[in-house]
């Protein structure tokens, strides 16, 4: 509390201490491991605490509920997807925009394959509204970054302002991958190809077949 005559201190914007960050990382690692093995059905604060080797009160200190845990993990998962879009692309090897879309989707599929927890969180049925909303927020950001990536390599035509076609393309292909995960427990090669076809087919509604390519990538 401020003393009389003193100006109140602004809220602290400092990052969590290293010990707190380490504990949060351990908690989310436990969530990731349990999701990969059992999905969301058996997930609880107590099961996460047991797997992380810490008291449940420590988990509650950082995360008030299971949806809060999963929202935090959703942020981690989407960070990996953002890294896919930020990774270098060989501009000279791009013949048309479909080459770029295939690179993006193959990287997405590789991310899912390397992280079973991501498949459970994004593609499996769990009915958690908070997680679905968080996923949608991150999808919008991914769509913006994807449009920027396409604009770096190709001259985009005028696009709708009332919808985000790149976000929708990502979500439509994810629906195909989700169908495969829910039926087969994984993204099968056949459904991976179908997801990429859906991605291209939707974008093709707005991008002409022969989209002009920049001489060099733009900044």
Residues with Cβ within 8 Å of 203's Cβ and at least 6 positions away in sequence, in order, are 97, 101, 165, 166, 169
Mean pLDDT of 111-127: 85
Nearest to 144 by CA among 95, 86, 186: 86
- pLDDT > 90? residue 49: yes
pLDDT averaged over every residue in the chain: 88
Residue 71, pLDDT score? 87
Mean pLDDT of 13-32: 80
The domains of the chain, with CATH numbers, are 15-64 (1.10.10.60), 67-219 (1.10.357)
- pLDDT > 80? residue 95: yes
- pLDDT > 90? residue 193: yes
User: What's this model's pTM, rounded to 2 decimal places?
Assistant: 0.82
Start-end of H helices in 92-164: 97-114, 116-118, 129-153
Residue 77, pLDDT score? 87
pLDDT band at residue 2 under the 50/70/90 scheme: very low
- pLDDT > 50? residue 218: yes
- pLDDT > 90? residue 121: no
- Convert the pLDDT of each residue in 148-185 to its tens digit: 999 999 999 999 999 999 999 999 999 999 999 999 98
Length of the chain: 219
pLDDT band at residue 18 under the 50/70/90 scheme: low
Mean pLDDT of 184-212: 96
Contact (Cβ atoms closer than 8 angstroms) between residue 215 and residue 174? no
Share of the chain above pLDDT 70, in %: 91
Residue 16, pLDDT score? 56
Q: What share of the chain is helix, strand, coil (3-state, %, to 5)?
A: 65, 0, 30
- Convert the pLDDT of each residue in 78-92 to its tens digit: 999 999 999 999 999
- Cα pseudo-dihedral 30, 36, 42, 45, rounded to 10: 20
- Cα pseudo-dihedral 136, 142, 144, 145, rounded to 10: 170
pLDDT band at residue 26 under the 50/70/90 scheme: very high
């Amino acid at each position: 509390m401020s003393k009389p005559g003193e100006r109140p201190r602004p809220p602290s914007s400092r990052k969590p201490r290293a010990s707190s960050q380490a504990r949060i990382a351990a908690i989310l690692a436990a969530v990731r491991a349990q999701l990969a093995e059992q999905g969301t059905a058996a997930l609880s604060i107590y099961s996460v605490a047991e797997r992380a080797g810490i008291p449940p009160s420590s988990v509650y200190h950082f995360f008030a509920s299971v949806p809060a845990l999963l929202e935090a993990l959703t942020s981690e998962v989407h960070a990996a997807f953002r890294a896919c879009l930020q990774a270098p692309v060989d501009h000279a090897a791009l013949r048309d925009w479909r080459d770029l879309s295939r690179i993006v989707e193959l990287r997405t599929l590789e991310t899912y394959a390397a992280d079973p927890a991501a498949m459970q969180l994004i593609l499996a049925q769990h009915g958690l509204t908070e997680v679905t909303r968080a996923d949608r927020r991150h999808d919008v950001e991914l769509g913006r970054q994807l449009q920027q990536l396409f604009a770096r390599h190709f001259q985009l035509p005028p696009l709708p302002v009332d919808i985000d076609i790149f976000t929708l393309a990502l979500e439509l292909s994810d629906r195909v991958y989700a169908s495969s995960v829910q039926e087969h427990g994984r993204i099968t090669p056949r459904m991976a190809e179908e997801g990429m076809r859906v991605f291209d087919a939707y974008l093709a509604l707005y991008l002409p077949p022969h989209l002009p390519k920049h001489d060099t990538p733009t900044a």
